[in-house]
């Protein structure tokens, strides 16, 4: 069987109390693999030490073996694997959504593709195996500089919003992909550019869904002529918001939502930046988190 990641769970047996045990094995996609145990008073799994990738805060063991490799054996001494921090040792612009009991992480791969990794716990991200769900075309608009993909479900369909260019950073704009299946893992189909107004440099798009209304929030440069960054001292990047007519089309021009006006938002050298917006909800309150200062 091909090497895959599994989460193993087992019933807890009382002291001296025999009962029917059932082991549940789940692969990284959350598919249930039935592995039943006989009537036991104590039980453990024979797991090669090299196969243990991670034990998360919930006690789930993340392995790299198939169910046919598991066997009943005598109880082993209790061991606890330390948690590794950071939970993901590499990557950029992380965006995670939870759906169907799994966490899905969207990331850019080499600025030319988008991957999604699925895991049962955030602490399992390092062991999760990302799948490429979309690759950029060899040339033209949206073919290079694929940055900051965000996975969003709108109107019962999965969308990915990303920024990309034609090989020149000055041409970075927002793009949309739509899943052709009901799964966050795609596959995805290109839906073209999400045209912002004014039509200037745009990255880090995220969607604010409020009832039946959607708004796109993105990072853009306020001028009409690209100055390049880092570069001239007067380069600035603001956050903008605009209503959406549908998941791939804006219904109006952008309005400045935030700009780097405070001292802690403005570096001594280089561009003053507000970037990476993320919508947060707490009860009836709505928040927008973002990064500031340098980029």
Instruction: Please report which helix (H) or strand (E) contains residue 276, including its range.
Output: strand 272-282
Q: Find the catalytic residue in 5, 56, 93, 204.
A: 93
* Cα–Cα distance for residue pair 48/20, rounded to 1 Å: 25
Show me where the domains of the chain are located. 6-73, 86-193, 212-295
Q: What is the pLDDT of residue 263?
A: 93
* Cα–Cα distance for residue pair 230/233, rounded to 1 Å: 8
Q: What is the pLDDT of residue 270?
A: 81
Three-class DSSP category at 67: helix
Q: What is the pLDDT of residue 27?
A: 46
State how far Cα 235 lies from the chain centre.
Answer: 29
Nearest to 290 by CA among 216, 199, 218: 218
With a threshold of 0.75, does the pTM exceed it? no
Q: What are phi and psi of 40, to 5 degrees?
A: -135, 155
Contact indicator for 215, 206 with CB cutoff of 8 Å: no
* Cα–Cα distance for residue pair 193/170, rounded to 1 Å: 15
Q: What is the pLDDT of residue 235?
A: 74
Q: Find the catalytic residue in 56, 165, 204, 275.
A: 275
Nearest to 276 by CA among 217, 231, 236: 217
Residue ranges of the chain with per-residue pLDDT less than 50? 1-7, 10-47, 65-81, 224-234
Q: What is the pLDDT of residue 269?
A: 84
Q: Which residues contact 164 (CB under 8 A, 6 or more apart)?
A: 136, 141, 142, 143, 144, 145, 146, 147, 172, 173, 175
Q: What is the pLDDT of residue 170?
A: 86
| CATH of region 86-193 | 2.115.10.20
Q: What is the pLDDT of residue 77?
A: 42
Residue range 99-115, pLDDT digits in tens: 999 999 999 999 999 99
Asked about 275 being catalytic, the answer comes back as yes
Residues 99-103: contacts with CB within 8 Å, 24+ apart? 99/153, 99/184, 100/30, 101/30, 102/29, 102/30
Q: What is the pLDDT of residue 42?
A: 35
Tokens of 286: 């709505």
* Cα–Cα distance for residue pair 136/142, rounded to 1 Å: 7
State how far the alpha carbon of 59 is from the alpha carbons of 9, 79, 124, in Å. 9, 11, 11
How are the residues of the chain apportioned to helix, strand and coil, as percentages rounded to the nearest 5?
5, 50, 45
Contact indicator for 7, 41 with CB cutoff of 8 Å: no
Q: Is the peptide bond before 228 cis (omega within 30 degrees of 0)?
A: no
Q: Work out whether the CA dihedral 209, 214, 218, 221 comes out positive or negative.
A: negative
Q: What is the pLDDT of residue 53?
A: 55
């Amino acid at each position: 069987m091909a090497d895959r990641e599994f989460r193993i769970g087992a019933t807890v047996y009382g002291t001296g109390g025999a009962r029917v045990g059932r082991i549940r094995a789940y692969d990284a996609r959350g598919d249930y693999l039935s592995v039943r145990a006989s009537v036991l008073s104590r039980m453990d799994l024979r797991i090669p030490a090299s196969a243990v990738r991670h034990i998360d805060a919930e006690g789930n063991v993340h392995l790299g073996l198939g169910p046919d490799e598991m066997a009943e054996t005598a109880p082993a001494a209790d061991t606890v694997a330390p948690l590794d921090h950071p939970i993901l040792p590499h990557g950029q612009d992380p965006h995670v959504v939870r759906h169907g009991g799994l966490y899905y992480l969207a990331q850019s791969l080499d600025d030319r593709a988008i991957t999604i990794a699925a895991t049962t716990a955030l602490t399992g991200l390092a062991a999760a195996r990302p799948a490429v769900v979309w690759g950029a075309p060899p040339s033209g608009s949206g073919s290079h500089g694929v940055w900051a993909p965000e996975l969003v479900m709108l109107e019962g369909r999965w969308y990915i919003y990303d920024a990309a260019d034609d090989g020149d950073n000055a041409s970075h704009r927002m793009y949309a992909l739509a899943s052709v299946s009901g799964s966050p893992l795609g596959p995805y189909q290109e839906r073209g550019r999400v045209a912002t107004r004014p039509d200037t440099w745009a990255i880090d798009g995220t969607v604010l869904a409020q009832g039946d209304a959607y708004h796109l929030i993105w990072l853009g440069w306020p001028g009409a002529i690209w100055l390049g960054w880092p570069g001239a001292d007067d380069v600035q990047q603001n956050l903008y918001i605009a209503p959406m007519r549908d998941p791939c089309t804006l219904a109006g021009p952008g309005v400045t939502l935030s700009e780097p006006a405070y001292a802690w938002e403005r570096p001594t050298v280089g561009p003053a930046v507000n970037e990476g917006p993320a919508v947060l909800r707490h009860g009836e309150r709505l928040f927008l988190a973002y990064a500031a200062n340098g980029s």
